[in-house]
Structure 1
C-alpha cells in the first residue's frame, strides 16, 4: 500500500467520523414526538413531528416541557400518572399531556407530580395526590390534569412544584401553597397537610416576586430584594443563621 493509499483511507475514516458526529448532533437538536410505549423497550412511534419548546422542567424520574403550540409534553417514568397523558405507561420519548383544550405557559415537575400554568393564570396538576399535593381537594392520584383550587379571583403568574408540596405566585404578590405541611413549608403558621391551597403569610408591606419549593422548605424573593425562607431547617437550608425551623416567612 502506498502513502497515497494510506492518506486516502485516513480521509475515508475521517469523513465517516464526521458523518456520525453530525448525525448525533442532529438527533440531539430534534425531539421526535411519538405514541410512546413501556420504558422496557424503545417504542416505535406511530407518528413523528418536530416540536419547538419554550420551557422545560426536570423531575426526579420524568420531564415536562411546553411547546410553542401551548401544549405540554412529558416523558419518563409514569407511576402514579406523573406524565399526565391519561395512562400509567412510562415513555421513552415525549407524549402530549392530556390537556388538549388548555393553552399553557409554564410547567414544573417534581418527584411524583407535575404542575402547569395556563396563559390565563389558572393552575393544573397531575400525578401522585398523596398529602394533597395536587391541590384539588383530594388525596388520590390523577392520570390527567385537574384544576388546582385557587380562587377564581386570583391571577397566578408562576408555579413551582416541590418534592411533597407546591407553590403558586399571584400577580399581586401573594403565595398559595398546598400539599405536605408538617414542617411548616406551606408558610401559613400551621404544620398540617392541606389538599386545598392556603395563603402563605407575607411580611407587612412586602409583595413576593418569585417562589421556589424544596423538599420540606420554601423560599421567596420580596419586592424589596430580600429572600424569605420557611419550613424545615435541620441543615441550615433556610439561611437564617440558625437551624431553627419556622412556619411563616420571617418579618
Structure 2
C-alpha cells in the first residue's frame, strides 16, 4: 500500500473497514454524510460500490437493504457499474452521479424534488436505485452540485439547471417555490458559467471571466454581499474581476472559499470554527483576503 493510501485511510476512519485487496483496486473514492459515514468508490474495472449509512436509500444498492440503516460491507451499485462515472455530489440524504458522457443519475430522498424524477412516479418518495434524470438527457452535463435538499447541474454550454428545495431562494429563480424538475437559471445563462458549488442552502457560480455569483441563504454572510439579509433568491455578482479574478470556488455548509488566478485565497460566511482562516472566529459578510504565511505538509 502506498504512503498516500495509508494517509487517506488514517484521515477517513470509515475507509479502514475496506478489505485490503479491494482497497488496492480503487481508482476513485467519495466520502460523504454529515459524519463522513458514507462511502462510494469506483474500482479500476469500473465497478461502483457503496457502504455506510443508507438513509432514504442514498447508497443506491436497492430493495434488499431497505431495512438496514447501516451497510457494513461494500455492495455494488449495479446501475452505475460500467457507466464511467466521473463525479459524485451528495446532499443530506440524496446523491447525484455524473458519467463521462454527461448524463446524471440520482437516488435517495426526493422529498423536495431534489432527484428531478417524474412527479407521477416519484413525488416525495425515496429511490434506492440510481435513476437517470431523463429531462436532462439531451444536455451534456459537465458539473453537478448538491445542497442539503437542492441540486444544480452545469451544461457544456455554460447553462445552470436547478431543482429541489427553494425556501431560501437557493435555486436563484427569483422566488421561493420548490422545483420538481430541472429549471434553467436564466439570469446567468449568458455569463458562460464554468463551475458551480453548493453549501447547505446557498449556491455559487463561477464564470469564465473569473466573476463570482452567489444566491440563497445568507444568515452567516455566506453570500459575500455585505448585507444583513436572511436570503437572496437571485444571483448577485460578489467578485467582478476588478480586484480579483477567480479560478476555483468551493463551499462548506455555510461558508465559501475562492482562489484567484494569482493564488490568493478569499473566504466569507460562517467562521465559528475558524474555517475561513482569518485568525478569528468572526463571520465575514464580504470576501476576506486570507493572509497565507506559510504552507507545508
Query: How far did 1:69 drift?
Result: 3.2
Q: CA deviation at 1:206?
A: 1.4
Residue equivalent to 1:111: 148
The question of whether the paired residues in 2 share the 8 Å contact of 1:203 and 1:250 is answered with no
Aligned to 1:101: 138
Distance (whole Å) between structure 1 residues aligned to residue 250 and residue 151 of structure 2: 14
What TM-score does the superposition give when structure 2 sets the normalisation length? 0.67
What is residue 225 of structure 2 aligned with on the other side? Answer: 188
Q: Which residue of 2 aligns with 1:237?
A: 275
Corresponding position of 2:196: 159
Alpha-carbon spacing, 1:148–1:203, altered in 2? closer, same or farther (3 Å): closer
| Shift, 1:68, TM fit | 2.9
- The answer on whether the counterparts of 1:99 and 1:144 sit within 8 Å (CA) in structure 2 is no
Matched position secondary structure for 1:150: helix
- Contact 1:219-1:230 within 8 A present in 2 as well: yes
TM-fit CA distance, 1:229:
0.6
The count of residues paired between Structure 1 and Structure 2 equals: 219
Q: Which runs of 5+ in 1 are unaligned?
A: 1-20, 33-37
What is the RMSD of the two structures over their aligned residues, measured on CA atoms? 2.6
Kindly indicate whether residue 113 of structure 2 is the aligned counterpart of residue 81 of structure 1. Answer: yes
Q: TM-score, normalised by structure 1?
A: 0.78
Distance 1:191 1:211 in 2: 23
Tell me the SS of whatever aligns to 2:154: strand
Q: Which runs of 5+ in 2 are unaligned?
A: 1-21, 27-41, 50-55, 66-78, 290-297
Cα 1:55–1:100 change in 2 (3 A) is same
Task: With a CA cutoff of 8 Å and minimum separation of 6, indicate the structure with the bigger relative contact order.
Answer: 1
- Aligned-partner SS, 2:276: coil
1:154-213 per-position Cα deviation (integer Å, ceiling 9, x unaligned): 110010011010000000111111100122111111232111111114684310111112
SS at the partner of 2:168?
helix
Distance 1:68 1:225 in 2: 29
Matched, 1:139 2:171: no
